[in-house]
Structure formats: structure tokens, C-alpha cells
Amino acid sequence: MDEQKITPQFLVTPDEQSQAILSQLENNGLNPDVYEQIKNDPLYLQLNNALQGIPSTDQEIQKLNDENRLTYEMYTKKSTLNHKRVEEKQKFVFKKGFKKAEQKFYQSQLKISKKKKQNQLSIDFYETHFKMLSQKMNKDLTYFIHPQKKMQIGIITYQSGFKSFNQPYIKTILKSQSFRQEIKDYIEKHFIQEVQEEMSYKLSKFIKFCSRMYEEALKEYYRICAKNDDEEYFRNFIRLKMEQLIVKNSKCKIPWSLQEIIDAQKFALNLIDQEMDMENE
């Protein structure tokens, strides 16, 4: 049979509609009922096992319906492209740790005084953790601001001395003993559990997105190929369309696996230990 007749061709770039659906899921999340329904689906169990490093058997995959088997295939293909650098893993950990350190500080301050405004709380946070370091490094306190945030003092808005939450920024803020201890405590005691819970939710959103893309692929097939009743062409069409919308879509992310989470924790703690060793030299 002519290969052209059984192998449809698609543009590499995902279409605008799929991007809009992905954006909607990212911004609005999932209805709690939908989330619980997905978590009870056999596909969720198999993909969650994959995240934990537990491979599914052929028998388990064959028990899934056509749509779910195809979603499992898309996840598998996507995961082979999902290689993360050490710096990316460290950034992931420390951005979460920074946020938790802020939240913990704000909560403790609000217990003392509920009248403090957000701007003052931000100033107090940086002064508590970075004032001594700023004096030691002969840098203004605003130098240590989170690169993706701004600090308002009066009518003036201040920004970080760094362009992004990168390795140099991470190493700089880890020079603060108090901040280093706060973030190390979070990474050791809470990071893995919290991130696993977050990945569970992201897995549900990934499954939901794949389901929507399967529906879109079917609609497109019946719109432009309704007269083609070749089963092989139909299966190739749906599979390749799903690859275009999911695997080749850089904005469609799969959740971090347990091993990636553990590696990220290990790399982050190693960096903290390095900073402590340098300080003690």
C-alpha cells in the first residue's frame, strides 16, 4: 500500500486551539470532582506507577481502552525527551524553598502584629535574612530581592541585582546562615512529600489535556477524512495528531518523577553543604 495513504502529515507546531485548552487548564485547574474522577481511572494508576518508577506490564496496558493506551504512549514518548539539567533541578527546589521561607516568616509576623502591610513584611523578611550579608558584601539590601519580584519602599520600586533565579543568585542567598537553615529544613523535611502531592495534581491535568486532544484529533479526522475508512490510516492519523499536540508541544509538561524529585533534593542539599564548607574554610 502507498505509504502516503496510511501516513498522514502534520505541521510540527501545535495549533492555537490546543494551546488555548492547555492554557485554560493551567490557569483554571480542574474541578475537584473531575480531579477525583481522574484519580480513580485505571490510566491514572498506570501513569502514577510510571512516575514512581514502577513499569506497567503489557497485560495492564492492554486492559486500557484505545484512548488511554494512546495517552500512555504519549506520556512514554514525552518522558524520553524530559531530561533535566542539575541547575534546573536546583532551581526548582530553591524557588519552592524561597516561597516556603517567605510564607513561614509572614505567618510568624502576622501572629505578632496583624497591622503590618505586605510591603513592610517583605522588607522585614529581607532584613531578617540578608541585612548582615548585605553589609558583609557591601551590597544594598535590594540586591538580594527575588529576581521575579519587586519591593516597594515608599513610592520607589526596587528590583533584584540578578536577572533571573539562576545559579549565581542561589549561591548568593545561601551565604545567609539564617536563610540557609530555613531552606535546608524545608528541603529535608517537607519538599518530597509536597512536590509528590503537586505532581499528582499535575498528572491529572496532563490526563485531562490528553483526553481533550484525543477528542480534537477525532473531530479533525471526521471533518477532513470521513470518507477514508482505512483503519490503519485512522490509527496513524490519531496517533500522529496526538504526537503533534502533546509530544512536540514544548508547553505541555509531564510531572516530575519520584526519582527526579529525589535527585533534585540531593543536588540542592549538596549545594547547601558546599556553601557551608566554603564558609567554614
Give pLDDT tens digits for 16-68: 778 888 888 887 778 888 888 888 899 999 999 999 999 899 999 999 999 99
Same domain, 60 and 135: no
Residue 229 lies in a domain: yes
Same domain, 27 and 147: no
Mean pLDDT within 187-199: 94
Q: For residue 180, give the DSSP letter.
A: H
Residue 200 lies in a domain: yes
Mean pLDDT within 208-231: 87
Question: Does pLDDT of 4 surpass 70?
Answer: no
Same domain, 70 and 99: no
Same domain, 176 and 46: no
Mean pLDDT within 89-118: 86
Identify the domain boundary among 160, 190, 220.
190
Mean pLDDT within 164-175: 94
pLDDT reported for residue 150: 80
pLDDT digits (tens, 9 = 90+) for 222-259: 888 777 778 888 888 999 999 999 999 888 999 999 99
pLDDT reported for residue 67: 94
Mean pLDDT within 202-214: 94
Q: 3-state class of 230 per DSSP?
A: coil
Q: Count structural domains, the chain.
A: 2
pLDDT reported for residue 239: 92
Same domain, 80 and 147: no
pTM of the model: 0.85
Same domain, 98 and 176: yes
Residue 279 lies in a domain: no
pLDDT reported for residue 222: 87
Same domain, 160 and 205: no
Residue type, 252: C
Same domain, 10 and 27: yes
pLDDT reported for residue 15: 75
Identify the domain boundary among 170, 190, 210.
190
**Can you point out the beta strands (E) in the chain?**
150-153, 156-159
Residue 276 lies in a domain: no
pLDDT digits (tens, 9 = 90+) for 59-94: 999 999 999 999 999 999 999 887 888 889 999 999
Q: Residue 11 — very low, low, confident or very high, per pLDDT cuts 50/70/90?
A: low
Burial of 253 (0-12, 13-18, 19+ CB in 10 A): middle
- CA 132 – CA 233 distance, rounded (Å): 68
Residue 79 lies in a domain: yes
Q: For residue 163, give the DSSP letter.
A: S
Residue 281 lies in a domain: no
- CA 160 – CA 2 distance, rounded (Å): 60
Same domain, 64 and 110: no
- CA 153 – CA 141 distance, rounded (Å): 12
pLDDT digits (tens, 9 = 90+) for 120-164: 888 889 999 999 999 999 999 889 999 998 877 777 777 888 989
Residue 36 lies in a domain: yes
Question: Does pLDDT of 6 surpass 70?
Answer: no
- CA 195 – CA 199 distance, rounded (Å): 6
pLDDT reported for residue 3: 46
Quote the domain boundaries for residue 169: 86-190
Same domain, 156 and 33: no
